[in-house]
């Protein structure tokens, strides 16, 4: 019996649309998104990375709870594992929203 591993395109397009709708006007952490869409955090990161690459995603940077270090200008959207400043692993999760809203706020 052969098994197809490829994800049907229609299905992934739907999740992408749901993600866009969810993030439109909302700023959410990965856990909330994962729960809302019923997908694993790993899957959600894939979609978030896609949005980030196409410049549609706005990321509120993760922050070290211990020393306040901000993880800005990260290429990856996922949560960093360790603070480069104090080596703490107590990191506040990044939050995600859509960039579209911010266009109107430009001075
Ligand atoms: Zn730190």
Cα 43 to averaged position of ligand 1 atoms, centre (Å): 28
Query: Is 71 within a domain?
Result: yes
Query: Is 76 within a domain?
Result: yes
Query: Is 5 within a domain?
Result: no
Query: Is 75 within a domain?
Result: yes
Cα 92 to averaged position of ligand 1 atoms, centre (Å): 10
Cα 89 to averaged position of ligand 1 atoms, centre (Å): 8
Residue 75: count other Cβ atoms within 10 Å of its Cβ: 7
Query: Is 93 within a domain?
Result: yes
Query: Is 53 within a domain?
Result: yes
CA dist 61 and 97 (Å) reads: 11
Cα 85 to averaged position of ligand 1 atoms, centre (Å): 5
Query: Which residue range forms the structural domain that includes residue 22?
Result: 11-103
Cα 72 to averaged position of ligand 1 atoms, centre (Å): 13
Residue 73's pLDDT is: 83
Question: What is the chain's length?
Answer: 107
Query: Is 65 within a domain?
Result: yes
* Structural domain total, the chain: 1
Residue 11's pLDDT is: 65
Residues of the chain predicted below pLDDT 50: 102, 107
Assign 107 to helix, strand or coil: coil
Is the pTM higher than 0.85?
Answer: no
Query: Is 74 within a domain?
Result: yes
Summarize pLDDT for 75-85 with one digit per residue, the tens: 889 989 999 99
């Amino acid at each position: 019996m052969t098994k197809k591993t490829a994800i049907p395109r229609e299905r992934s397009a739907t999740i992408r649309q749901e993600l866009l709708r969810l993030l439109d006007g909302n700023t959410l952490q990965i856990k909330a998104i994962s729960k809302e869409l019923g997908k694993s955090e790993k899957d959600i990161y894939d979609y978030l990375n896609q949005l980030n690459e196409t410049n549609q995603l706005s990321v509120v940077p993760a922050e070290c709870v211990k020393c306040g270090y901000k993880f800005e200008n990260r290429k990856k959207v996922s949560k960093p594992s360790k603070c480069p400043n104090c080596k703490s692993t107590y990191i506040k999760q990044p939050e995600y929203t859509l960039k579209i809203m911010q266009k109107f706020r430009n001075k």
